[in-house]
Each structure stands twice: as C-alpha cells, then as structure tokens.
Amino acid sequence: MGVFDHNEFDNHESLHYFNDEKTGLRAIVAVHSTALGPAAGGTRRWAYENDADALTDVLRLSRGMSYKNAVAGLKFGGGKAVILASDNAPKSPELFRTFGRCVNSIGGDYVTAEDVGCSVDDMRYVHEVTEYVSGLPQLGGAAGGDPSPWTALGCFQGVQAAAAARLGTESLKGLRIAVQGVGHVGLHLCRFLREAGAELYISDVNRENLKMTTDEMPATVVAPNELLFADVDVLAPCALGNILTSSTIPKIKAKVIAGAANNQLSTAADGVRLAERDILYAPDYVINAGGIISVAAEYYGNGSEDDVRADVGRIKDRLQDIFKQAKETGRPTHELADELARNLIAASR
C-alpha cells in the first residue's frame, strides 16, 4: 500500500524518510498539520516488525498530535517521528545527533521531544545539532524537562474526573486501578494514585520497571496478557496503543478507561463499542496532553512550572465537558473530542 491511499493517511502535509548508513539510523517523520504552528510531537524508538508498521504508527500518532495540541490550546500543529530500532542501529549519541540533523533539515516545520524508547539524555544529543527540540533539562523554576511527570499529573486528574462521572466518586480511595505499563508515565501515575489511596494492579513486560514500582509501593503484579481484563474499577493504559479492539472490549471489566497511551482505540468503531458497554473512555489525546503542555511552554520560553501546573489542571475541565456532553447526547466520547479538535484546526485555516 502506498502513502496517499493508506488507511491512516489523513491529508498529512508531508512525510520524511531518513536513512544513515554510518549509524544505521532509519527514521520517518510525519507532519500532519502546521495549521496551528510547527508540527510538534515526540520521537518513538521501537523495534517495528517492518516498515509498513512504522509508517502506520507515525501516520496515526502525528494526526493524534494535531488533535491533542489543538484541544490543549497550544500554538502547535501535529507531527511525530519514529526511529526503527534494530541491532544495526544501536542507541548512541551519534545516532541521536544524526537524527537531530534530520529534524533540522525539515527547517522548523517539525519540533521533536522524547516519547517511548527515548529519554531526556537522548534529546540533549539531538539539541547539539538543532534548535527544533524540546523536553530538555531546565534550570530553576523554568518550565520544561522530562514531560512524563506532567503527563502523569494530567492523567491522574483525568482519572478523578472520569471516576466522578462514571462511578459517582471523585475520591480514588479504595478504587481498584489497573495500570498497564509502569515506564516513565506509568510509574509517576502509580505514585499519584497510591497517594490518593487507590489499590494498584500493574503489569509490564520489563521486569526492572515492575521491580522499581513494587520496591516503592504496594501493587499486585498481573501478567501482561491478563491486565486488560482484570476485575478493577479503572483501567489506565500507559504502554502502547491499539489495545482496545473488537476482541478485547467484550472482556474488559473496568467501568472507566483513562490512561496515557496514545492511540488506545484500534479503530473509531471501538470507541462506539466502549460506549455501548457503558465503559467511560477518556479520549487519549485529551487526557495525556500534560507532557506536550510542558514541552510547549519550554519551546516558546513563556511559562514557569506553576503556569504549566495550572494549564495541566485544565485537562480535567475539558474532560468534564466531554463527559457531560456524552451523557446529554448519548454520543461516544472519542467522537466528541475528534469533532472539537477538527473544528479548532479548521477555524484556524
């Protein structure tokens, strides 16, 4: 399948393929929209089975970034990068410098940051060769740095909003919450949830990350293939996307799904399936915008940590509006969020 007739092609403005023989770097950058500003979105480094999977991922993720940035009220369009991880391209400073040169060659239409498989340190190497990067360590009370704690804070407050709307309680005390993936965001989220008195169920395919979490707090470890179907009140997906499908949804016991992972719904029909089962879904790109809010404040140099905290707090208000509308109209939450995002982008053109 080509690009223009690809199922996930959504009038993306441009697509950039990069190959570097020396470092083995292979990367794709997708610029979905620059209508609201430079296309911003993190870099995912992942061992894709093939190029086609990487293309599908970057097309979906970049569109999601356009929607996320629009709904969060940021002066950013949407883009995303994927680096194809392989034994031929081991992680190294030079790999990230080379990737930085690729980003630089796009001339500012794409701004990168860290995502799954990349760290703040990796972005430092990117920054050695380009200004079009954010998510770097900051001094004093300036906004920026690792976006994950902000993503986790927005998710935590989003879980509170969803629990209030669906379970009739904003207090998370005693609620059973399953967190899929305890990486950068998941671990921070667990800390917030635990502090609020939730009973935690966690899974991860990485044993070290599991151990780090269970060393720090009480949590029941569940096998990765069982976590989605655990007998819990809330499911917080914080690993990868494509997990809510026609085959998983009928087996889910949670009444609320609210977590950080991008592209949780496999297809739009899966959002309808959740609504039909009366499972309240917090649209992923609305609830997980905390990190990009911090990235935007850092990139534009126009905010303190307190400003970012206040802005992240507004994610909860947006979710409350969406949940209220869903209740009044009977429409699925993902549809309402998509409509809002598309209207905001169209209004700016």
Q: What are the residues binding ligand NAD (CB under 6 A)? A: 115-117, 147-148, 151, 180-186, 203-206, 209, 224, 238-241, 260-262, 288, 291
Are 340 and 71 contacting, i.e. CB atoms less than 8 angstroms apart? yes
Q: How far is the CB of 120 from ligand NAD (least distance, A)?
A: 10
By beta-carbon distance, which residue lies closest to ligand NAD? Answer: 183
CB of 160 or CB of 288, closer to ligand NAD: 288
Which member of 22, 68, 75, 80 is catalytic? 80
Q: How far is the CB of 104 from ligand NAD (least distance, A)?
A: 23
The reply to whether 91 belongs to the active site is no
CB of 216 or CB of 276, closer to ligand NAD: 216
Q: Residues 6 or more apart from 310 whose CB is under 8 A from it?
A: none
Q: How far is the CB of 98 from ligand NAD (least distance, A)?
A: 22
CB of 121 or CB of 276, closer to ligand NAD: 121
d(CA 121, CA 83): 16
d(CA 219, CA 194): 9
Q: How far is the CB of 291 from ligand NAD (least distance, A)?
A: 3
Q: Residues 6 or more apart from 266 whose CB is under 8 A from it?
A: 242, 243, 244, 245, 246
CB of 101 or CB of 191, closer to ligand NAD: 191
Q: How far is the CB of 241 from ligand NAD (least distance, A)?
A: 6
CB of 190 or CB of 238, closer to ligand NAD: 238
Are 251 and 230 contacting, i.e. CB atoms less than 8 angstroms apart? no
Active-site residue list = 80
